[in-house]
Amino acid sequence: MKVDLIIQARIGSKRLPGKSLLPLAGEPLVGRIIERVKRCKNISEIIVAIPDTKENLQLKIYLEKFNVHLFCGPEDDLVERYYLAAKERKSDLICRLPADNATPEPTEIDKIVKFHKNLGCPGFSSNLSQIYNSGYPDGIGAEVFDFSKLEEARSYFKEPSKREHVHLNFFDYESQKPVDNDWCPVNTINCPIEFRRPDIVLDVNNYHEYLYMDKLYQSLYYKNKDFTILDIIEWHDRELCKRKKEK
């Protein structure tokens, strides 16, 4: 079974334009993500799916230095971009990772892939963020779903919101509701107690979050480039204590 990790990236982010190329410890954000996920053991291939527009040429040129497959597809139809990328690479399972999750945890990605494969039936599994009180920090895991389900979603759902956000075809994190659990069962795993911290958000959606992530990388990366979620939590809590004392 071919399990391909697809990272979605683009220059034209509405909330933080150009964020994929913003530096983290001397290397663009998307490069740091690739560096981390290359340590995954249950992934067949890493694919970076970007828009096929002139605006993204700079991103394309940067990504060509990595030993990953680069796919260019529609900018505003993310479902189609994923579908075409997975079809081209003959993916059986798709592991989805947004390029604003700057600290993916390779062991947790491997864990959700193994969990999904062991279910033995097509569906959607995630530890990308908290599902059903799983306790996961936001941004260290991934989503896993079968190519067959993506193909069906591509045919069934035409609403702009679902074409722009792949997960909304299967599960809504905000409402914590699956789209249709009979059609596409949604499953998750419980976060290990030692880093069960759903209060921690490790996304980069705006400039404030980028500054936080930049400080995190400056503090942790040069000591250990393979820093883990436990290192992040220790640093995060230490920063919170500093801020409280400053007040």
Check pLDDT > 80 for residue 245. no
Residue 169 · residue 162 · CB < 8 Å: yes
Check pLDDT > 70 for residue 57. yes
Distance separating alpha carbons of residues 109 and 140, to the nearest angstrom: 8
Instruction: Name the residue among 74, 54, 131, 129 with its Cα closest to residue 96.
Output: 129
Give the position of tokens 């040069």: 222
| Structural domain total, the chain | 1
Residue 1 · residue 92 · CB < 8 Å: yes
Domain of residue 83: give its range: 3-246
DSSP three-state, residue 136? coil
How many C-alpha atoms does 128 have within 13 Å on its Cβ side? 22
Residue 91 · residue 4 · CB < 8 Å: yes
| pLDDT tens column, 121-165 | 999 999 999 999 999 999 999 999 999 999 999 999 999 999 999
Q: Distance of alpha carbon 129 from its chain centroid, rounded?
A: 10
Q: How much is the CA Rg of the chain, to the nearest whole Å?
A: 17
Q: Give the mean pLDDT of 115-121.
A: 96
- The CATH number of the domain holding residue 50 is 3.90.550.10
Give the CA dihedral 86, 89, 94, 96, nearest 10 degrees. -80
Instruction: Name the residue among 155, 209, 178, 150 with its Cα closest to residue 13.
Output: 209
| pLDDT tens column, 174-215 | 999 999 999 999 999 999 999 999 999 999 999 999 999 999
